[in-house]
Structure 1
Amino acid sequence: MAMMRRPTRSRGRLLIAGLVLCAVAAAVTVGVWLQFGERHDLDTRYRAGGDAPDRVDITASVQRVDAAGRELTLRLLVTPRGDLAEAGGVAPAESLTLQTSADVRGDLTFPAHSRISTVDVPVTLTAGSITDYPFDAYDTDLEFGAVQGGEAVPVRMTLTNNDALFAATVEASEANGAAVFYVGIGRSTSVLIFAVFMMAAMWALAIAVLIGAWFLLSRRKGLTWPALGWMAATLFALAAFRNTAPGAPPIGSLLDYIAFLWAETVIAFCVITVVVMGMRAESHPSPDPPASP
Protein backbone atom coordinates (compact mmCIF):
# COMPACT_ATOMS: atom_id res chain seq x y z
CA MET A 1 0.00 0.00 0.00
CA ALA A 2 2.85 2.42 0.84
CA MET A 3 4.48 1.69 -2.52
CA MET A 4 1.23 2.50 -4.32
CA ARG A 5 0.72 5.79 -2.48
CA ARG A 6 4.14 7.21 -3.29
CA PRO A 7 3.67 7.27 -7.09
CA THR A 8 0.24 8.83 -6.61
CA ARG A 9 1.67 11.60 -4.44
CA SER A 10 4.51 12.17 -6.88
CA ARG A 11 2.08 12.50 -9.77
CA GLY A 12 -0.02 14.93 -7.75
CA ARG A 13 3.00 17.09 -7.00
CA LEU A 14 4.09 17.02 -10.64
CA LEU A 15 0.59 18.02 -11.71
CA ILE A 16 0.56 20.94 -9.27
CA ALA A 17 4.03 22.04 -10.40
CA GLY A 18 2.93 21.84 -14.03
CA LEU A 19 -0.18 23.92 -13.36
CA VAL A 20 1.90 26.54 -11.54
CA LEU A 21 4.36 26.73 -14.43
CA CYS A 22 1.49 27.05 -16.91
CA ALA A 23 -0.07 29.84 -14.84
CA VAL A 24 3.27 31.68 -14.66
CA ALA A 25 3.81 31.26 -18.41
CA ALA A 26 0.29 32.53 -19.13
CA ALA A 27 0.80 35.56 -16.87
CA VAL A 28 4.13 36.38 -18.54
CA THR A 29 2.57 35.98 -22.01
CA VAL A 30 -0.31 38.31 -21.15
CA GLY A 31 2.14 40.83 -19.66
CA VAL A 32 4.33 40.80 -22.77
CA TRP A 33 1.25 41.18 -24.98
CA LEU A 34 -0.01 44.16 -22.96
CA GLN A 35 3.42 45.80 -22.97
CA PHE A 36 3.71 45.29 -26.73
CA GLY A 37 0.32 46.94 -27.20
CA GLU A 38 1.35 49.98 -25.16
CA ARG A 39 4.67 50.21 -27.02
CA HIS A 40 2.80 50.05 -30.31
CA ASP A 41 0.51 52.89 -29.20
CA LEU A 42 3.50 55.06 -28.26
CA ASP A 43 5.19 54.35 -31.62
CA THR A 44 2.05 55.12 -33.66
CA ARG A 45 2.29 58.23 -35.83
CA TYR A 46 -0.80 60.11 -36.95
CA ARG A 47 -0.44 62.18 -40.11
CA ALA A 48 -2.58 64.86 -41.74
CA GLY A 49 -1.88 67.03 -44.78
CA GLY A 50 -0.67 66.64 -48.35
CA ASP A 51 2.71 66.12 -50.02
CA ALA A 52 3.02 69.40 -51.94
CA PRO A 53 6.69 70.23 -52.63
CA ASP A 54 6.32 73.74 -51.18
CA ARG A 55 4.85 73.10 -47.73
CA VAL A 56 5.47 73.34 -44.00
CA ASP A 57 6.19 70.12 -42.12
CA ILE A 58 5.26 70.03 -38.43
CA THR A 59 6.44 67.23 -36.17
CA ALA A 60 4.46 67.29 -32.91
CA SER A 61 4.69 65.05 -29.87
CA VAL A 62 2.75 65.00 -26.62
CA GLN A 63 5.46 65.28 -23.97
CA ARG A 64 3.42 65.40 -20.78
CA VAL A 65 -0.23 65.42 -19.78
CA ASP A 66 -1.11 67.43 -16.67
CA ALA A 67 -4.56 66.15 -15.73
CA ALA A 68 -4.73 68.33 -12.60
CA GLY A 69 -3.92 71.46 -14.60
CA ARG A 70 -6.10 70.27 -17.51
CA GLU A 71 -3.44 70.81 -20.14
CA LEU A 72 -0.83 68.92 -22.12
CA THR A 73 2.57 70.01 -23.37
CA LEU A 74 3.02 69.70 -27.13
CA ARG A 75 6.55 69.85 -28.55
CA LEU A 76 6.72 71.22 -32.09
CA LEU A 77 9.44 71.13 -34.73
CA VAL A 78 8.56 73.26 -37.75
CA THR A 79 10.40 72.65 -41.03
CA PRO A 80 9.59 74.63 -44.19
CA ARG A 81 10.14 72.80 -47.49
CA GLY A 82 10.81 73.75 -51.09
CA ASP A 83 10.69 77.45 -51.99
CA LEU A 84 9.41 78.27 -48.48
CA ALA A 85 12.78 77.43 -46.92
CA GLU A 86 16.42 78.31 -47.11
CA ALA A 87 19.49 76.50 -45.81
CA GLY A 88 17.90 73.09 -46.23
CA GLY A 89 14.77 73.87 -44.20
CA VAL A 90 16.58 75.25 -41.17
CA ALA A 91 15.14 78.75 -41.66
CA PRO A 92 12.10 80.16 -43.51
CA ALA A 93 12.69 82.31 -46.60
CA GLU A 94 10.06 84.76 -45.32
CA SER A 95 8.38 85.34 -41.99
CA LEU A 96 6.35 82.24 -41.17
CA THR A 97 3.28 82.19 -38.91
CA LEU A 98 1.51 79.10 -37.59
CA GLN A 99 -2.16 79.72 -36.93
CA THR A 100 -3.57 77.40 -34.28
CA SER A 101 -6.93 76.36 -32.85
CA ALA A 102 -8.48 77.84 -29.71
CA ASP A 103 -7.19 75.00 -27.50
CA VAL A 104 -3.60 75.87 -28.40
CA ARG A 105 -2.45 78.95 -26.54
CA GLY A 106 -1.48 81.45 -29.20
CA ASP A 107 -0.09 81.50 -32.74
CA LEU A 108 3.61 80.98 -33.44
CA THR A 109 5.75 83.28 -35.56
CA PHE A 110 9.21 82.47 -36.93
CA PRO A 111 11.21 85.37 -38.39
CA ALA A 112 12.69 85.10 -41.86
CA HIS A 113 16.29 83.86 -42.20
CA SER A 114 16.33 82.74 -38.55
CA ARG A 115 16.98 79.19 -37.45
CA ILE A 116 13.87 77.35 -36.26
CA SER A 117 14.23 75.27 -33.10
CA THR A 118 11.77 73.10 -31.21
CA VAL A 119 9.18 74.87 -29.07
CA ASP A 120 6.90 73.58 -26.31
CA VAL A 121 3.30 74.73 -26.52
CA PRO A 122 0.64 74.30 -23.81
CA VAL A 123 -2.68 72.91 -25.02
CA THR A 124 -5.91 73.11 -23.02
CA LEU A 125 -7.81 69.90 -22.28
CA THR A 126 -11.60 69.89 -22.25
CA ALA A 127 -14.14 67.49 -20.70
CA GLY A 128 -13.24 65.00 -18.03
CA SER A 129 -12.08 65.51 -14.45
CA ILE A 130 -9.10 64.14 -12.54
CA THR A 131 -11.45 63.12 -9.72
CA ASP A 132 -12.68 60.35 -12.07
CA TYR A 133 -9.25 58.69 -11.71
CA PRO A 134 -8.41 56.10 -12.98
CA PHE A 135 -11.22 56.32 -15.54
CA ASP A 136 -10.79 60.02 -16.36
CA ALA A 137 -10.66 61.01 -20.03
CA TYR A 138 -10.07 64.32 -21.84
CA ASP A 139 -10.45 65.83 -25.30
CA THR A 140 -8.71 68.52 -27.29
CA ASP A 141 -8.79 69.84 -30.85
CA LEU A 142 -5.55 70.67 -32.67
CA GLU A 143 -5.53 72.66 -35.89
CA PHE A 144 -2.42 74.09 -37.50
CA GLY A 145 -2.35 76.28 -40.57
CA ALA A 146 0.59 78.24 -42.01
CA VAL A 147 0.89 81.70 -43.54
CA GLN A 148 4.05 82.96 -45.26
CA GLY A 149 4.40 86.21 -47.14
CA GLY A 150 0.73 86.98 -46.50
CA GLU A 151 -0.46 83.80 -48.23
CA ALA A 152 -1.67 80.50 -46.83
CA VAL A 153 0.66 77.59 -47.50
CA PRO A 154 -0.07 73.86 -47.17
CA VAL A 155 0.82 72.01 -43.98
CA ARG A 156 1.73 68.40 -43.35
CA MET A 157 1.74 67.42 -39.66
CA THR A 158 2.74 64.29 -37.77
CA LEU A 159 1.53 63.69 -34.19
CA THR A 160 2.85 61.16 -31.64
CA ASN A 161 2.34 60.52 -27.94
CA ASN A 162 5.37 60.24 -25.63
CA ASP A 163 3.58 60.19 -22.26
CA ALA A 164 3.57 56.56 -21.10
CA LEU A 165 0.94 57.25 -18.41
CA PHE A 166 -1.71 58.21 -20.99
CA ALA A 167 -3.08 56.71 -24.16
CA ALA A 168 -4.20 58.84 -27.11
CA THR A 169 -6.90 58.19 -29.68
CA VAL A 170 -6.53 60.46 -32.69
CA GLU A 171 -8.64 61.33 -35.71
CA ALA A 172 -6.59 63.14 -38.36
CA SER A 173 -7.93 65.15 -41.29
CA GLU A 174 -7.13 68.08 -43.58
CA ALA A 175 -9.18 71.24 -44.02
CA ASN A 176 -8.22 73.97 -46.54
CA GLY A 177 -4.54 73.13 -46.32
CA ALA A 178 -4.51 72.98 -42.51
CA ALA A 179 -3.85 69.86 -40.45
CA VAL A 180 -6.64 68.95 -38.00
CA PHE A 181 -6.47 66.44 -35.15
CA TYR A 182 -9.23 65.41 -32.75
CA VAL A 183 -7.40 63.93 -29.77
CA GLY A 184 -8.84 61.88 -26.93
CA ILE A 185 -6.65 61.34 -23.86
CA GLY A 186 -7.17 58.57 -21.30
CA ARG A 187 -5.14 56.56 -18.82
CA SER A 188 -2.88 53.90 -20.30
CA THR A 189 -3.63 50.20 -19.87
CA SER A 190 -0.84 49.74 -17.32
CA VAL A 191 -2.18 52.58 -15.17
CA LEU A 192 -5.71 51.14 -15.31
CA ILE A 193 -4.50 47.66 -14.35
CA PHE A 194 -2.40 48.95 -11.46
CA ALA A 195 -5.19 51.20 -10.17
CA VAL A 196 -7.71 48.34 -10.26
CA PHE A 197 -5.17 46.12 -8.49
CA MET A 198 -4.75 48.81 -5.81
CA MET A 199 -8.49 48.94 -5.18
CA ALA A 200 -8.74 45.16 -5.00
CA ALA A 201 -5.73 44.97 -2.65
CA MET A 202 -7.19 47.62 -0.36
CA TRP A 203 -10.45 45.71 -0.01
CA ALA A 204 -8.58 42.43 0.48
CA LEU A 205 -6.49 43.88 3.30
CA ALA A 206 -9.57 45.41 4.93
CA ILE A 207 -11.38 42.06 4.81
CA ALA A 208 -8.30 40.30 6.22
CA VAL A 209 -8.21 42.71 9.16
CA LEU A 210 -11.95 42.26 9.66
CA ILE A 211 -11.55 38.46 9.78
CA GLY A 212 -8.66 38.81 12.24
CA ALA A 213 -10.71 41.11 14.47
CA TRP A 214 -13.66 38.68 14.42
CA PHE A 215 -11.33 35.83 15.44
CA LEU A 216 -9.92 37.82 18.37
CA LEU A 217 -13.35 38.94 19.58
CA SER A 218 -15.13 35.62 19.20
CA ARG A 219 -12.45 33.85 21.23
CA ARG A 220 -12.04 36.64 23.79
CA LYS A 221 -8.29 36.82 23.22
CA GLY A 222 -7.95 40.10 25.07
CA LEU A 223 -5.23 42.58 24.07
CA THR A 224 -3.16 40.57 21.62
CA TRP A 225 -0.43 43.04 20.83
CA PRO A 226 1.11 41.38 17.76
CA ALA A 227 -2.32 41.31 16.08
CA LEU A 228 -3.03 44.92 17.06
CA GLY A 229 0.37 45.96 15.71
CA TRP A 230 -0.40 44.28 12.40
CA MET A 231 -3.78 46.00 12.17
CA ALA A 232 -2.37 49.43 12.99
CA ALA A 233 0.50 48.93 10.52
CA THR A 234 -2.01 48.03 7.81
CA LEU A 235 -3.97 51.19 8.56
CA PHE A 236 -0.96 53.43 7.93
CA ALA A 237 0.54 51.30 5.17
CA LEU A 238 -2.61 51.76 3.06
CA ALA A 239 -2.12 55.52 3.08
CA ALA A 240 1.44 55.13 1.78
CA PHE A 241 0.25 52.54 -0.75
CA ARG A 242 -2.45 54.90 -2.00
CA ASN A 243 0.14 57.63 -2.61
CA THR A 244 1.97 55.37 -5.07
CA ALA A 245 -0.92 55.59 -7.55
CA PRO A 246 0.50 56.62 -10.96
CA GLY A 247 -0.24 60.22 -11.80
CA ALA A 248 -0.64 61.30 -8.14
CA PRO A 249 -4.45 61.67 -8.11
CA PRO A 250 -5.79 64.11 -5.50
CA ILE A 251 -7.71 62.94 -2.48
CA GLY A 252 -11.40 62.60 -3.27
CA SER A 253 -10.93 60.77 -6.56
CA LEU A 254 -12.95 57.73 -7.59
CA LEU A 255 -10.15 55.49 -6.30
CA ASP A 256 -10.75 56.82 -2.78
CA TYR A 257 -14.53 56.48 -2.81
CA ILE A 258 -14.45 52.96 -4.27
CA ALA A 259 -11.77 51.48 -2.02
CA PHE A 260 -9.35 53.61 0.01
CA LEU A 261 -11.70 55.50 2.33
CA TRP A 262 -13.83 52.42 2.98
CA ALA A 263 -10.80 50.22 3.66
CA GLU A 264 -9.37 52.76 6.09
CA THR A 265 -12.75 53.03 7.85
CA VAL A 266 -13.10 49.26 8.23
CA ILE A 267 -9.54 48.83 9.56
CA ALA A 268 -9.81 51.74 12.00
CA PHE A 269 -13.13 50.40 13.28
CA CYS A 270 -11.60 46.94 13.76
CA VAL A 271 -8.60 48.31 15.67
CA ILE A 272 -10.76 50.39 18.01
CA THR A 273 -13.25 47.56 18.57
CA VAL A 274 -10.52 45.02 19.35
CA VAL A 275 -8.86 47.40 21.82
CA VAL A 276 -12.12 48.23 23.61
CA MET A 277 -13.33 44.65 23.81
CA GLY A 278 -9.85 43.44 24.68
CA MET A 279 -9.72 45.81 27.63
CA ARG A 280 -13.05 44.46 28.84
CA ALA A 281 -11.82 40.90 28.49
CA GLU A 282 -8.62 41.73 30.40
CA SER A 283 -10.58 43.47 33.16
CA HIS A 284 -13.12 40.66 33.55
CA PRO A 285 -11.28 37.43 32.77
CA SER A 286 -13.34 34.28 32.38
CA PRO A 287 -13.34 32.08 35.53
CA ASP A 288 -11.18 29.02 35.32
CA PRO A 289 -13.13 25.80 34.86
CA PRO A 290 -13.38 23.67 38.01
CA ALA A 291 -10.75 21.01 38.35
CA SER A 292 -11.99 17.49 37.67
CA PRO A 293 -11.84 15.12 40.67
Structure 2
Amino acid sequence: MRRLRTSPAGSLAAGLVLLAVASAAAVGVWLQFGERHALDTRYRAGGTAAADRVDITASIQRVDAAARELVLRVLVTPRGSLGEAGGISPTRTLTLQTSPSVRGDLTFPAHSRISTVDVPVALTSGSITDYPFDAYDAALEFGAVQGGEPVPVRMTLTNRDALVAATVDAYGAEGAAVFDVELKRSTSVLIFAVFMMVAMWALAVAVLIGSWFLVTRGKGLTWPALGWMAATLFALAAFRNTAPGMPPIGSLLDYIAFFWAESLIAFCLLTVVVMGMRQESHPSQAPERAEGPP
Protein backbone atom coordinates (compact mmCIF):
# COMPACT_ATOMS: atom_id res chain seq x y z
CA MET A 1 0.00 0.00 0.00
CA ARG A 2 1.40 3.36 -1.01
CA ARG A 3 1.64 5.96 1.75
CA LEU A 4 0.31 9.43 1.04
CA ARG A 5 2.88 12.17 1.21
CA THR A 6 2.12 15.69 2.29
CA SER A 7 4.00 18.43 0.50
CA PRO A 8 5.89 21.03 2.58
CA ALA A 9 3.59 23.74 1.23
CA GLY A 10 0.50 21.79 2.34
CA SER A 11 1.95 21.22 5.81
CA LEU A 12 2.79 24.91 6.13
CA ALA A 13 -0.74 25.92 5.06
CA ALA A 14 -2.30 23.50 7.54
CA GLY A 15 -0.05 24.79 10.29
CA LEU A 16 -0.97 28.40 9.50
CA VAL A 17 -4.68 27.53 9.55
CA LEU A 18 -4.35 25.83 12.93
CA LEU A 19 -2.34 28.77 14.25
CA ALA A 20 -4.99 31.23 13.03
CA VAL A 21 -7.79 29.20 14.65
CA ALA A 22 -5.89 28.93 17.91
CA SER A 23 -5.11 32.65 17.89
CA ALA A 24 -8.75 33.55 17.23
CA ALA A 25 -9.89 31.27 20.06
CA ALA A 26 -7.31 32.75 22.42
CA VAL A 27 -8.39 36.30 21.58
CA GLY A 28 -12.02 35.30 22.10
CA VAL A 29 -11.29 33.80 25.51
CA TRP A 30 -9.30 36.90 26.48
CA LEU A 31 -12.13 39.23 25.44
CA GLN A 32 -14.72 37.13 27.27
CA PHE A 33 -12.57 37.10 30.40
CA GLY A 34 -12.26 40.89 30.23
CA GLU A 35 -16.02 41.35 29.99
CA ARG A 36 -16.62 38.85 32.81
CA HIS A 37 -14.12 40.71 34.98
CA ALA A 38 -15.85 44.02 34.24
CA LEU A 39 -19.23 42.58 35.29
CA ASP A 40 -17.71 41.27 38.53
CA THR A 41 -16.01 44.57 39.39
CA ARG A 42 -17.39 46.36 42.45
CA TYR A 43 -17.08 50.11 42.86
CA ARG A 44 -17.18 51.44 46.41
CA ALA A 45 -17.82 54.94 47.76
CA GLY A 46 -18.22 56.37 51.25
CA GLY A 47 -15.83 53.90 52.81
CA THR A 48 -16.79 54.65 56.40
CA ALA A 49 -15.83 52.20 59.14
CA ALA A 50 -18.43 53.45 61.63
CA ALA A 51 -20.44 50.72 63.32
CA ASP A 52 -23.65 52.75 62.94
CA ARG A 53 -24.01 53.24 59.21
CA VAL A 54 -26.18 52.41 56.22
CA ASP A 55 -24.85 49.93 53.66
CA ILE A 56 -26.26 50.26 50.14
CA THR A 57 -25.76 47.62 47.50
CA ALA A 58 -26.77 48.76 44.01
CA SER A 59 -26.52 47.06 40.63
CA ILE A 60 -27.27 48.26 37.12
CA GLN A 61 -29.82 45.73 35.88
CA ARG A 62 -30.74 47.10 32.48
CA VAL A 63 -29.89 50.09 30.31
CA ASP A 64 -32.66 51.32 28.02
CA ALA A 65 -30.94 53.75 25.67
CA ALA A 66 -34.13 54.43 23.71
CA ALA A 67 -35.92 55.58 26.88
CA ARG A 68 -32.69 57.25 28.11
CA GLU A 69 -32.75 55.54 31.48
CA LEU A 70 -31.24 52.67 33.40
CA VAL A 71 -32.79 50.46 36.07
CA LEU A 72 -30.85 50.42 39.33
CA ARG A 73 -31.62 47.69 41.86
CA VAL A 74 -31.00 48.95 45.39
CA LEU A 75 -30.75 47.01 48.65
CA VAL A 76 -30.43 49.03 51.86
CA THR A 77 -29.07 47.53 55.09
CA PRO A 78 -28.89 49.62 58.29
CA ARG A 79 -26.07 48.54 60.57
CA GLY A 80 -25.44 48.83 64.30
CA SER A 81 -28.00 50.74 66.30
CA LEU A 82 -29.67 51.94 63.09
CA GLY A 83 -31.10 48.52 62.25
CA GLU A 84 -32.94 45.61 63.79
CA ALA A 85 -32.40 41.86 63.35
CA GLY A 86 -29.13 42.24 61.52
CA GLY A 87 -30.32 45.07 59.27
CA ILE A 88 -33.63 43.61 58.15
CA SER A 89 -35.52 46.73 59.24
CA PRO A 90 -34.61 50.22 60.51
CA THR A 91 -35.17 51.28 64.10
CA ARG A 92 -36.53 54.61 62.91
CA THR A 93 -37.82 55.84 59.57
CA LEU A 94 -34.94 55.78 57.10
CA THR A 95 -34.83 58.00 54.02
CA LEU A 96 -32.33 57.78 51.18
CA GLN A 97 -31.77 61.16 49.56
CA THR A 98 -30.81 60.78 45.92
CA SER A 99 -29.51 62.91 43.06
CA PRO A 100 -31.91 64.64 40.64
CA SER A 101 -31.32 61.98 37.98
CA VAL A 102 -32.77 59.33 40.32
CA ARG A 103 -36.55 59.46 40.35
CA GLY A 104 -37.42 60.30 43.91
CA ASP A 105 -36.04 59.61 47.37
CA LEU A 106 -36.54 56.22 49.00
CA THR A 107 -38.27 55.96 52.37
CA PHE A 108 -38.34 52.87 54.60
CA PRO A 109 -40.72 52.98 57.60
CA ALA A 110 -39.45 52.06 61.05
CA HIS A 111 -39.67 48.40 62.08
CA SER A 112 -40.71 47.38 58.52
CA ARG A 113 -38.84 44.80 56.51
CA ILE A 114 -36.57 46.30 53.84
CA SER A 115 -36.69 44.70 50.38
CA THR A 116 -34.86 45.46 47.17
CA VAL A 117 -36.16 48.36 45.10
CA ASP A 118 -35.78 48.96 41.35
CA VAL A 119 -35.14 52.65 40.74
CA PRO A 120 -35.17 54.34 37.29
CA VAL A 121 -32.22 56.66 36.68
CA ALA A 122 -32.17 59.20 33.84
CA LEU A 123 -29.26 59.16 31.41
CA THR A 124 -27.59 62.32 30.18
CA SER A 125 -25.71 63.08 26.94
CA GLY A 126 -25.38 60.61 24.11
CA SER A 127 -27.91 59.49 21.51
CA ILE A 128 -29.05 56.01 20.51
CA THR A 129 -28.85 57.04 16.86
CA ASP A 130 -25.05 56.78 17.26
CA TYR A 131 -25.43 53.00 17.75
CA PRO A 132 -23.16 51.04 18.08
CA PHE A 133 -20.79 53.86 19.10
CA ASP A 134 -23.23 55.60 21.47
CA ALA A 135 -22.24 56.50 25.04
CA TYR A 136 -24.15 57.91 28.02
CA ASP A 137 -23.55 59.41 31.45
CA ALA A 138 -25.38 58.93 34.72
CA ALA A 139 -24.86 60.70 38.04
CA LEU A 140 -25.71 58.71 41.19
CA GLU A 141 -25.65 60.21 44.66
CA PHE A 142 -27.06 58.59 47.80
CA GLY A 143 -27.20 60.04 51.29
CA ALA A 144 -29.13 58.75 54.30
CA VAL A 145 -31.25 60.45 56.95
CA GLN A 146 -32.74 58.59 59.92
CA GLY A 147 -34.90 60.25 62.51
CA GLY A 148 -34.15 63.65 60.98
CA GLU A 149 -30.37 63.24 61.38
CA PRO A 150 -27.85 62.39 58.62
CA VAL A 151 -26.10 59.05 58.99
CA PRO A 152 -22.96 57.78 57.25
CA VAL A 153 -23.32 55.75 54.06
CA ARG A 154 -21.20 53.04 52.49
CA MET A 155 -22.27 52.04 48.98
CA THR A 156 -21.25 49.40 46.44
CA LEU A 157 -22.14 49.59 42.73
CA THR A 158 -21.91 46.83 40.11
CA ASN A 159 -22.96 46.45 36.49
CA ARG A 160 -25.12 43.44 35.57
CA ASP A 161 -26.06 44.45 32.02
CA ALA A 162 -23.82 42.45 29.67
CA LEU A 163 -24.75 44.68 26.72
CA VAL A 164 -23.03 47.77 28.14
CA ALA A 165 -19.65 48.53 29.66
CA ALA A 166 -19.49 50.87 32.65
CA THR A 167 -16.66 53.18 33.62
CA VAL A 168 -17.23 54.45 37.15
CA ASP A 169 -15.64 57.23 39.19
CA ALA A 170 -16.62 56.63 42.83
CA TYR A 171 -16.00 58.96 45.77
CA GLY A 172 -17.60 60.26 48.95
CA ALA A 173 -18.86 63.81 49.49
CA GLU A 174 -20.20 65.14 52.82
CA GLY A 175 -21.31 61.74 54.06
CA ALA A 176 -22.93 60.74 50.73
CA ALA A 177 -21.78 58.19 48.16
CA VAL A 178 -21.30 59.58 44.66
CA PHE A 179 -20.82 57.67 41.40
CA ASP A 180 -20.15 59.25 38.01
CA VAL A 181 -20.98 56.50 35.52
CA GLU A 182 -20.13 56.41 31.82
CA LEU A 183 -21.93 53.74 29.79
CA LYS A 184 -21.07 52.50 26.32
CA ARG A 185 -21.63 49.36 24.29
CA SER A 186 -19.70 46.32 25.44
CA THR A 187 -16.94 44.86 23.32
CA SER A 188 -19.07 41.88 22.25
CA VAL A 189 -21.91 44.15 21.10
CA LEU A 190 -19.48 46.38 19.22
CA ILE A 191 -17.85 43.40 17.48
CA PHE A 192 -21.21 41.93 16.50
CA ALA A 193 -22.50 45.26 15.18
CA VAL A 194 -19.39 45.77 13.06
CA PHE A 195 -19.75 42.20 11.78
CA MET A 196 -23.35 42.96 10.83
CA MET A 197 -22.29 45.99 8.79
CA VAL A 198 -19.54 44.04 7.03
CA ALA A 199 -21.92 41.14 6.32
CA MET A 200 -24.57 43.48 4.89
CA TRP A 201 -22.09 44.99 2.47
CA ALA A 202 -20.69 41.56 1.57
CA LEU A 203 -24.15 40.23 0.70
CA ALA A 204 -24.95 43.35 -1.30
CA VAL A 205 -21.72 43.01 -3.29
CA ALA A 206 -22.44 39.30 -3.86
CA VAL A 207 -25.87 40.16 -5.29
CA LEU A 208 -24.29 42.86 -7.45
CA ILE A 209 -21.77 40.39 -8.91
CA GLY A 210 -24.49 37.82 -9.56
CA SER A 211 -26.66 40.43 -11.26
CA TRP A 212 -23.81 41.59 -13.46
CA PHE A 213 -23.19 38.00 -14.55
CA LEU A 214 -26.87 37.40 -15.38
CA VAL A 215 -27.26 40.63 -17.34
CA THR A 216 -24.01 40.49 -19.31
CA ARG A 217 -24.48 36.82 -20.23
CA GLY A 218 -28.08 37.32 -21.31
CA LYS A 219 -29.42 34.61 -19.00
CA GLY A 220 -32.98 35.87 -19.06
CA LEU A 221 -35.31 35.23 -16.13
CA THR A 222 -33.31 32.83 -14.00
CA TRP A 223 -35.76 32.02 -11.25
CA PRO A 224 -33.37 30.44 -8.71
CA ALA A 225 -31.16 33.53 -8.88
CA LEU A 226 -34.14 35.85 -8.54
CA GLY A 227 -35.37 33.87 -5.55
CA TRP A 228 -31.95 34.14 -3.92
CA MET A 229 -31.86 37.91 -4.45
CA ALA A 230 -35.38 38.41 -3.10
CA ALA A 231 -34.62 36.20 -0.08
CA THR A 232 -31.47 38.21 0.63
CA LEU A 233 -33.46 41.45 0.42
CA PHE A 234 -35.91 40.35 3.11
CA ALA A 235 -33.37 38.39 5.16
CA LEU A 236 -31.27 41.52 5.68
CA ALA A 237 -34.22 43.27 7.34
CA ALA A 238 -34.64 40.37 9.78
CA PHE A 239 -30.88 40.23 10.31
CA ARG A 240 -30.78 43.94 11.12
CA ASN A 241 -33.46 43.51 13.78
CA THR A 242 -31.23 41.08 15.68
CA ALA A 243 -28.84 43.90 16.62
CA PRO A 244 -28.26 43.74 20.41
CA GLY A 245 -29.96 46.58 22.23
CA MET A 246 -32.69 46.92 19.58
CA PRO A 247 -31.56 50.25 18.08
CA PRO A 248 -34.34 52.19 16.31
CA ILE A 249 -34.35 52.64 12.57
CA GLY A 250 -32.18 55.56 11.52
CA SER A 251 -29.16 54.73 13.66
CA LEU A 252 -25.57 54.86 12.46
CA LEU A 253 -25.76 51.14 11.69
CA ASP A 254 -28.44 51.85 9.09
CA TYR A 255 -26.69 54.78 7.44
CA ILE A 256 -23.36 52.96 7.22
CA ALA A 257 -24.62 49.66 5.86
CA PHE A 258 -28.29 48.64 6.05
CA PHE A 259 -29.93 51.34 3.92
CA TRP A 260 -27.30 51.11 1.19
CA ALA A 261 -27.25 47.30 1.14
CA GLU A 262 -31.04 47.11 0.83
CA SER A 263 -31.09 49.77 -1.89
CA LEU A 264 -28.34 48.05 -3.88
CA ILE A 265 -29.99 44.63 -3.66
CA ALA A 266 -33.39 46.03 -4.65
CA PHE A 267 -31.83 47.86 -7.62
CA CYS A 268 -30.00 44.71 -8.75
CA LEU A 269 -33.16 42.61 -8.45
CA LEU A 270 -35.19 45.10 -10.48
CA THR A 271 -32.47 45.38 -13.12
CA VAL A 272 -32.23 41.61 -13.54
CA VAL A 273 -36.01 41.32 -13.89
CA VAL A 274 -36.25 44.10 -16.49
CA MET A 275 -33.32 42.85 -18.54
CA GLY A 276 -34.56 39.27 -18.22
CA MET A 277 -37.98 40.28 -19.52
CA ARG A 278 -36.38 41.93 -22.53
CA GLN A 279 -34.29 38.84 -23.15
CA GLU A 280 -37.31 36.54 -22.88
CA SER A 281 -39.47 38.79 -25.09
CA HIS A 282 -36.88 39.04 -27.87
CA PRO A 283 -34.91 35.82 -27.89
CA SER A 284 -31.93 35.71 -30.21
CA GLN A 285 -32.45 33.92 -33.46
CA ALA A 286 -30.75 30.58 -33.60
CA PRO A 287 -28.50 30.20 -36.67
CA GLU A 288 -30.02 28.12 -39.45
CA ARG A 289 -28.46 24.74 -39.90
CA ALA A 290 -26.91 24.12 -43.30
CA GLU A 291 -28.73 21.51 -45.33
CA GLY A 292 -26.70 18.51 -46.20
CA PRO A 293 -26.66 16.74 -49.55
CA PRO A 294 -29.81 14.83 -50.43
2:92 aligned to which of 91, 94, 98: 94
Q: Which residue of 2 aligns with 1:85?
A: 83
Give, in angstroms, the shift of residue 266 of structure 1. Answer: 0.2
2:155 aligned to which of 143, 154, 157: 157
Partner AA of 1:45 in structure 2:
R
The residue correspondences of 1:95-244 to structure 2 (distance < 5 A) are: 95-244=93-242
Aligned mates of 1:289, 1:143 — CA distance in 2? 87
1:71 partnered with 2:66: no
1:32 aligned to which of 21, 29, 32: 29
1:21 partnered with 2:18: yes
Aligned mates of 2:196, 2:287 — CA distance in 1? 47
Partner AA of 2:209 in structure 1:
I
Aligned mates of 2:83, 2:206 — CA distance in 1? 68
Partner AA of 2:83 in structure 1:
A
TM normalised by structure 1 equals 0.95
1:281 partnered with 2:279: yes
Give, in angstroms, the shift of residue 127 of structure 1. Answer: 1.0
Partner AA of 2:94 in structure 1:
L
Give, in angstroms, the shift of residue 151 of structure 1. Answer: 1.0
Give, in angstroms, the shift of residue 68 of structure 1. Answer: 1.1
Aligned mates of 2:104, 2:280 — CA distance in 1? 72
Q: CA RMSD for the aligned pairs?
A: 1.5
Give, in angstroms, the shift of residue 23 of structure 1. Answer: 1.0
Aligned mates of 1:158, 1:201 — CA distance in 2? 41
Name the SS of the counterpart of 1:58 in structure 2.
strand
Name the SS of the counterpart of 1:250 in structure 2.
coil
Query: Could you tell me the percent identity over the aligned residues?
Result: 78
Partner AA of 2:241 in structure 1:
N
* Unmatched runs of 5 consecutive residues or more in structure 1: none
Give, in angstroms, the shift of residue 14 of structure 1. Answer: 2.0
TM normalised by structure 2 equals 0.94
Moved more, 172-181 or 274-283: 274-283
Aligned mates of 1:290, 1:15 — CA distance in 2? 56
Aligned mates of 1:184, 1:52 — CA distance in 2? 30
Aligned mates of 1:25, 1:256 — CA distance in 2? 33
1:47 partnered with 2:57: no
Partner AA of 1:257 in structure 2:
Y
Aligned mates of 1:169, 1:243 — CA distance in 2? 28
Name the SS of the counterpart of 2:112 in structure 1.
coil
Give, in angstroms, the shift of residue 290 of structure 1. Answer: 6.2
Name the SS of the counterpart of 1:271 in structure 2.
helix
Partner AA of 2:42 in structure 1:
R
Q: Which residue of 2 aligns with 1:272?
A: 270
Q: In the TM superposition, what whole-angstrom CA distance separates every residue of 1:271-291 from its partner, at most 9, and x where no partner exists? A: 000110111112222333566
Name the SS of the counterpart of 2:7 in structure 1.
helix
